[in-house]
Structures are given as C-alpha cells and as structure tokens.
Chains A and B, each alone.
Chain A
Amino acid sequence: MEWETVIGLEIHVQLATKTKIFSGASTAYGAEPNTQACAIDLAMPGTLPVPNRQAFKLAAMFGLAIDAPIARRSVFERKNYFYPDLPKGYQTTQLDEPIVGAGHVDITLDDGTEHRVRIHHAHLEEDAGKSLHEDYHGMSGIDLNRAGTPLIEIVTEPDMRNAEQAVAFAKKLHGLVVAIGICDGEMSQGSLRFDVNISVRPKGQKELGIRTETKNLNSFKFMEEAIELEVERQISVIESGGTIRQETRLYNGDTKKARSMRSKEDSNDYRYFPCPDLLPVILDDSFLAEVAAAMPELPEAKRARYTGDMGLSEYDAKVLTGDVATAVYFDAAVNAGAIPKLAANWIMGDLAAFLNRQELTIKQSPVTPAALAGLTQRIDDGTVNSKMAKAVFEGMAAGEGDADTVIEAKGLKQVSDSGALEKIIDDVMANNTQQVEGYRAAPEDKRAKMVGFFVGQCMKASKGQADPKQLNQLLVKKLNG
C-alpha cells in the first residue's frame, strides 16, 4: 500500500527579552545554576507575576511576520501539573485567547516548488526550569535559571507531507524569528525547540491517522532523522497488523533511536483556568503601531530588494539574506556607497574566506562595511584592478586604514595615464622586436592570443599597476601599427 505522511509542528521559541516574562530576573544563557531565579521564579509564597511588555512586543512582531492577526485582548491561563522544575505547580500560558492568530509561512523546496504551511496560532507562555539527572548520585538537581523565560509556542496546521518539507519549514521559521530579532536562534542552547506530530494514512484517505508527538528536537538533522524513523515505524506497525498508540516520544540523536515517553492515557488533566493574578492584557493602537514601526524588513522583502534595484542574482540574494548579520553588513556597505554587485562578491568571497580563516563572525570583521564600500568604489572607478584590490583588502584587514589610505600608502594606484602607458609599451616593443614582427606576420585570428605576451611584459614593467583595459587597447593599436 502507498502511504502518505502528515506532519504538524509545535515550536517553542525563546523570546530575546533581557528579563523574564513575569519577573525582573535575567534570561542570559549559561549562568551558574539558580543564580538567575528571583523570589517570583522560585514561586515563593505571596509573590505575584508582572507581565513583561517586551515579550508582548516580540510576540506581536511574530504575528506581523506571518501575516496573522494580533489579538487586542489576550488572556493567561494556568496549566496545572506537578514537576520539580515547575515551581508554581502550574505553567502560565495562553489557551483560548492567544496573542497571535492564524497566519502562514511559505517555503521553497529544493526542486523550486513553493509550499504554504498554515500557522494555527502562536501563544505566549513561560518556560520551565531544567531538571539535571546526572552528577547527583541518584537524585535530581533543579536549575531554575530558565524558569520564566518568555516563549512563544507556534502551532502549525498538519500541512507537511515529508521530512524535507518539515525541515524546510523549520529552517525558514528559524531564519524568520532570527531575522526579525525576536529570538537568538541558538538551537544548541534550546532557544528553538521543535515538537513534531506525525501520522500516516493510506494515500487518498481523508481522515488523519493516529498521531504521535516526538518532543524537543533541537537540530534540523535530528528532526529529519526522527521523522524518517517514526514514519518507518508507524508504517511497519500498521502493515504488520498493529495500531498506532497516541503517545509522546523522545528521539535520541546520539543513538539514533526513539522511545515512548508517555501514552495519552497517562497524560495529565491540566485543569486550565484563567490566571487570577493577571488581568487580560489589552493591546491598544499605539502599542500595535509601536510594534509595526519596530518591525525589521522580512527576508522575503529583502531578497526582492536585492534582486530588484540592486540587480543581484537570486543566488547572491539568497546567500546574503540567509544570515541576518551578513544582510546587515551588506546593507550597511550599500548605505555607505558600495557598488552592490561588487560588495556582494567580496562579502561572499574574500571577506567570507578571511573571516573563516580568522574564526571571526561578520559582526567582528576588521574590515568595516564602509571600508568595503570604499574598496568597491575604487574598483569601479578604475583606481585599482582586481589584483591590486586584493592587496588593498589585505591592508584593510590588517588594520592599515580605509581603501584610499591603503592605496596611497602602498602606491597601488593603477597606471591609466596614456602617456605613461605608451612609454611602457614602446619600451616593451623595442625590447621584443622579434615578437612584434611575429605578431605582425600572424593572421588576424591568431593575433588576439599573442597580445597576452605583451600585456604580461607591460604589466611586469608597470609593477602590476597598469590599467589592463586601457593597456590592452593601446597595445593592440600600437602592434597593429
């Protein structure tokens, strides 16, 4: 039988606020355990939550990015369950009235086809702490630094049909939340965590099969592996006469194995009810206007801008917009007067190679966007040729100043004064009379190739500073007599 896979995702995105969603404690990653947990995060008696405005702003930005309505009124609920890393014994989250309504994300697959993934909604909630099961001699350690970190949980419709689509969507979403600055995107630190709902059904069947949920996948690779493994498992269970149990599963990326964590029967009754410590949050026009104003350009719009007026290729635009910092660098260079196509080439070529060698990020680049802009101008106006440009770049990378300073200091100006060039050509021709005669005796179609020798000699004589274009023209003119 032919099977169809149906996949929906739930994505937990940690919002890039400085402080927690309901307390003033820092959200910075990597601190000593429990040093970033205040009385509120510890759920000390009598403490109360106070909503963090910034978290609402970032969540609303996500809504704008996926073309979804932002709820004017959103309500926090208590989701009740006991676990040691959940200090209050309930998670403060949203249920019936989430902040972000239905939207969509369009993905482009490797074969170039477009595919739309609908977003059911996204809601605000607090993260739990961490339980540490190693190194405690049969006990568990609790680190509440993460408790209260603001999250949005994004819930998709079951719109993906295979691992490729799911991963393409996950990557697109990752790029999106990073591009709009609401999440640092550090998946290894848990900033983005994917839960994958998977079911299979005979091809052509309308109703969905029973699904399982594989939780907490924090890399695209694991996600792909986990989906493929689970689809295979479900098909083989059904084909051998079994039925799929609705359950939560865990995938281990090291062993490449998955296991059942709990079945639906064991699941909690969360006894949701509106949190009486928090009034419904009302977002007014001025708040929404503030969010809209803070909204950076979306990657899609950026690509259109790059391939439009700037005249970059689709490939260049994709590479540059693929990383936020790179796009920021590129835009800064263009704003400083860079020739877009040249800047793109340098950023993706020499600059990328240099940064890679030095193990630097583009944000740490010693060659500033303005410096690179200067270099592209000097290439464009013919001051330096491409070989000299590399030397200028090296000078700038070594901290020797901007393009003009390096050009001046190293005497790298291209010789394009025709008098000076003519003198060089005359000397070269005088010193190579035999070759000149050979050239003049050769048929037209062989001559072009023979010019190369003279260009080489002239370049050598000019110490590489002759303007190659002008040199070529003058040479041909003189050789042809």
Chain B
Amino acid sequence: MHNQTVAQLVKQLQSKAVSSVELTQHYLDRIQQNDADLNSFISVTAEQALAQAKAADVRLAQGNAPTLCGLPIAHKDIFCTQGVRTSCGSKMLDNFIAPYDATIVQNYQNQGVVSLGKTNMDEFAMGSSNETSYYGPVKNPWATHCVPGGSSGGSAAAVAARLAPAATATDTGGSIRQPAALCGISGLKPTYGRASRYGMIAFASSLDQAGLMAQTAEDIALLLGPLSGFDPKDSTSVDHPVDDYTRLLDKPLTGLRIGIPDEYFGEGLEASTEKCVREAIAQFEKLGATTKSIKLPHTSLSVPAYYVIAPAECSANLSRFDGVRYGYRCKNPQDLDDLYSRSRSEGFGDEVKRRILVGAYALSAGYYDAYYAKAQKARRLIKQDFVAAFHDVDLIMGPTSPSPAFEFGSKSADPVAMYLEDIYTIATNLAGLPGMSIPCGLVNGKPIGLQIIGNYFDEAQMLGVAHQYQQATHFHTLAPANYK
C-alpha cells in the first residue's frame, strides 16, 4: 500500500477500497517500525491522526468529500500546529506547543487531510544536511551513512522511505529541492508569495516559501491547491488566482523550449551527476522539447548574496527567541543580560548562532552598504538574468545539487563547502521563482535530482512537464531497498 502514490491512494479512499483509518494506521505502523533508525520525525501524533482519519472517513461516507480527504501526510516541524509541539528543530522551541495552526496546516485540515506528525529538519531550517537538528540527524534511506539533505531532510526521508505519501516542507535556499534530489523524490518550491507564510516559523522572510514533497509530480499537482492562495494574514502572499495544477499534466511536450544555463554545468559539478542530468535533458528532447543553452551571468553572485541576505533577515527574525515569553529559558538568570545571553547561547545551536552573527555584522553601522545593500543589488541582477532568459525559453533545467548524498560529518566542519550544496538552488529563491527537483537517475545507489525552474506562477506547466518525463521514465518509482 505504501508504495502507492497520492494519486492512487486518494482514488482508493474515494472509492472506499481503503479507509482513512486503515491507511493512517498503516503509515503509523511503518513510522514505528522504521523511524527509530531513520529519525525523520520529531513528533508523531498518532492519536490525533487517527481521530482526524476517523472524521475523514465520516466525510467520505457522506459523499462529496474533497479529493484529498483522508490522505495522511506529514508536516515539517517548522509549521505551527495547534496543541502540538512545534520545535523548528531547535532546543529553543523544544517546549513550545503552538497555540494556533499555520494557514497551510489549517487549509489541509479543512480538506480532510490527516497529519501523521512533524518531520525533522535542520535547526530553524539552517543547513543542507539535517545535521544541525537538535533532535539529531536524519538518515538517508538510500544510504544510511549519508545525509538526506536539508533543511527539509525529515520530510524528504519520510517520503522516500514510504513513511508518508507526501509531506509539506519549506525552501529558503534549496531546502526542498536539495533533499528531494538526495532522497530520490519529487519536490516543489512554488513562486514566492504563492503559499502563506503565516504560522511558518521565519528563517529569512523574503526567501522562505512553503512547498511539497511526494513521489511524483502528479502527486504534487494534486496537493498544491490547498497550499496556494492569498492569505489576509500574510501581506507578502500574492493575490494571484489559484490554478488547477493538474490541468497541464497530459499536455505533450512538443514545442516546449528548455533553457540549459551554462553556469550550472561548470566546476564543482560531479561528472556522474552531470551525466544523469544530461540524459534527462536528452529524454525531454526525445519527448518533443527543444533545448538551448542560455546564460545566467550573475549566478556566481548568488551564494555570497544569499549568505548576506538570509543571515541578515534571520538575525532579526530570531530575536524574538529571548527566553522571556516562551521557549527555552536558562536556569537562574542573574539579570536581564544574563537571561538573554545564556538563554540564546544555550538554546541555539552553532549554525544558527553563526548566521545570527554574520547577519548582525552585515547590518551593523558602517558595513550595511558594503554587505546588505550590495547583496540586494546582486539580487536584482540575478532576478534580471532570469527575466531575460524567460523571454526565450519556457523552463530552465539543470542539476539540483552538485553531487549525490554525502557522508555524515564530511562537510559539517566546513561551512563554505556546505553552503555550496545549494549553489544551483539559491538563485531561484533570490529571484522568487518556482523550482522543483525530480529524480533522474542513481549513482552508486544514490539518487540524483534534475532541477526545473519555471517562470513566476507557472507551477502548472512545471508539473505537467515533470509528469510527462515521469510517464516516460521509472526513476520516481524507485524506492530504497530497505523501505519498499
């Protein structure tokens, strides 16, 4: 049952071939059997999940239930869930029970979607390997000595290991696409502003975007509706009509123009990864698309610009974690300064502290123009590159990540090496564009991801194109040997 896709499962739920309670229990059992080792969940909410499943079954029995009703999914532990611990992977929020639901959590609940629990993640979504989580790293189900990617490593591993049919996730610089690539699943980061950020704990507000992970592009198309739309509680969400994301799934690729950026195939890209990506592109040509090489000349600025802007925003966003109103508070504070400095020193991990310090430095008097203002200028140039490119092409494709999953500890001592994991994904966040990753091969038993970058609000076309590829290939059907 767990090897089935969302598309298959919702059909069975609607036809009552399986009940939501049965399905939910099945996934809860799989989590219990497998997750002690994998560590993809921080909290499993079995009791609540079964209650939701029961309610979903009632709706299904009454008829006219929404398409997704009864489907169990997992939420990244960055989304606030009322009455459930929402830790954001941090000791700082280990004791935080959210008093409200994030808008997207609420939206799925309204559709009758069941929440299995909260998935593991890099602390405050800062990391590319899931090694910064207070709850310990998640293992990659394909190679348990390797990282699942990050920051949404828990969601990616849970979907890859068939512990959940799909999961929500977030992407600030690649946190959906890179773990999706490393875990051999499909992942989509929509256009900035497509999904509400209300109740999603902020890392870098101008870059953070909620998205989805599932086995297939079709599954994401089915799930994307409730995630999308303007939210009056988030003034950066965009009042743009919500598409029927399944409408282009069957559209042939004849005439599709794909741009291949030269800059995404330079130094740093592992040969075996490049080979898989090139083969995938050849497959698109076989399906009727035309490809041309394009230039995104400011690509090299994206990592440095990102590592100024994201830390700058996080340095302010994380100031609220001060030990005063909620979250971790140090023992026996002597005075106010002691309360602040010890609560934050003890409550945050090293990577979070590093980024707060970098951000505070970049914003400080005398450095603002040299760092923050310059980074914003670079950001505009990067965006202009994409806008120009999309005059000639419909989609852009390249690698998601320079290499397959790496071993634990191999990059954690070298922040720059870790930051370069996101070298191909960061630019889309800076530009606010939608990006996705789909599996396109295995190297030594480890998955490789193909990145698809679309124009603003062009998610339906991206999903259609990815679906056509998945109709012609089998990579998305592969499951790690121990989790079939």
Q: Which residues of A contact B (CB under 8 A)?
A: 39, 42-51, 78, 80, 82, 84, 87-90, 142, 269, 271-273, 276-279
Contacts and interface: CB of A to CB of B under 8 A. Distances in A.
B316 A90 contact: yes
Nearest to B86: A45
B320 A273 contact: no
B320 A277 contact: no
B235 A50 contact: yes
B232 A273 contact: no
Chain A, interface SS category:
loop
Contacts of B322: 82, 84, 89
A392 to B, nearest CB: 56
Contacts of B232: 50
Contacts of A42: 325
A269 B320 contact: no
B100 interface: yes
B365 interface: yes
B229 interface: no
A45 B234 contact: no
Nearest to B363: A271
11 contacts: A39-B100, A43-B325, A45-B86, A45-B96, A46-B86, A46-B201, A47-B198, A50-B233, A88-B316, A276-B236, A277-B205
Contact of B313 (A46, A47, A276): A276
B236 A279 contact: yes
A78 B93 CA distance: 23
A90 B322 CA distance: 12
Contacts of B365: 269, 271
A48 B232 CA distance: 10
Given A43-B320, A269-B365, A277 B236 contact: yes
A269 B368 CA distance: 11
Contacts of A89: 316, 319-320, 322
Contacts of B315: 80, 271
Contact of B206 (A43, A44, A87, A276): A276
A39 B79 CA distance: 15
Nearest to A278: B235
A46 B80 contact: yes
Contacts of B198: 46-48
Contacts of B202: 45-46, 277
Contacts of B324: 84, 87, 142
A87 B235 contact: no
B235 A51 contact: yes
Contacts of A50: 232-235
B472 to A, nearest CB: 40
A39 B100 CA distance: 9
Interface residues of B, number: 43
A43 B316 CA distance: 12
Given A42-B325, A78-B316, A273 B93 contact: no
B153 to A, nearest CB: 20
Given A45-B98, A82-B319, A276 B200 contact: no
Interface string B226-261: 000000111110000000000000000000000000
B222 interface: no
A83 B368 CA distance: 23
A276 B319 contact: no
Nearest to B376: A274
A271 B235 contact: no
B17 to A, nearest CB: 37
A132 B96 CA distance: 26
A273 B199 contact: no
Given A50-B235, A269-B365, A276-B206, A39 B99 contact: yes
A276 B202 CA distance: 11
Query: What are the 3 A-B residue pairs with the smallest beta carbon separation, nearest first?
Result: A89-B319, A276-B205, A276-B206
B316 A44 contact: no
Given A142-B324, A271-B364, A273-B368, A48 B234 contact: yes
A278 B206 CA distance: 10
A46 B204 contact: no
A223 B150 CA distance: 57
A47 B197 CA distance: 8
Nearest to A23: B233
A273 B80 CA distance: 27
Contacts of B236: 48, 276-279
Given A78-B316, A90-B319, A44 B235 contact: no
B389 interface: no
Nearest to B373: A273
Question: Which of B98, B201, B232, B319 has the largest count of A CB atoms less than 10 A from its CB?
Answer: B319
B408 interface: no
A218 B100 CA distance: 39
A66 to B, nearest CB: 28
Contacts of B200: 46
B456 to A, nearest CB: 16
Contacts of B235: 48-51, 277-279
Contact of A273 (B319, B325, B363): B363
Given A45-B96, A273-B363, A276-B204, 7 more contacts: A43-B325, A46-B201, A47-B199, A50-B235, A84-B322, A142-B324, A273-B372
Interface string B165-209: 000000000000000000000000000000001111110111000
B320 A48 contact: no
Given A46-B202, A87-B325, A89-B319, A273 B88 contact: no
A417 B326 CA distance: 85
Contacts of A43: 320, 325
A130 to B, nearest CB: 14
Nearest to B372: A273
Contacts of B234: 48, 50
Interface string B370-400: 0010000000000000000000000000000
